Amino acid sequence: MVDTVRQAGYSVVLVEEGGLVKVRVGPLDDASSAAAALRARGLEVLEVR
């Protein structure tokens, strides 16, 4: 997943929280476009603002 996000041109930060590893992407100028681009690559996206 990290490689896919990076290949799409976005910065990635991994955060461990509650036994889970979360993949955070950003900062972004246009979150909607980024979410659409990542969904097009087959990733599930949860937008948090």
| Confidence (pLDDT) at 49 | 78
First to last CA, the chain: 21
| Confidence (pLDDT) at 31 | 92
| Confidence (pLDDT) at 12 | 96
| Confidence (pLDDT) at 2 | 95
- Is the preceding peptide bond at 27 cis, omega within 30 degrees of 0? yes
Question: What does the block give as tokens for 9?
Answer: 């041109």
Domain residue limits, the chain:
2-40
| Confidence (pLDDT) at 3 | 95
DSSP string, the chain: -HHHHHHTT--EEEEEETTEEEEEE---S-HHHHHHHHHHTT-------
For the chain of 49 residues, list the mean pLDDT of each consecutive stretch of 10. Answer: 94 95 92 95 91
| Confidence (pLDDT) at 48 | 85
The pTM (predicted TM-score) of the whole model is 0.79
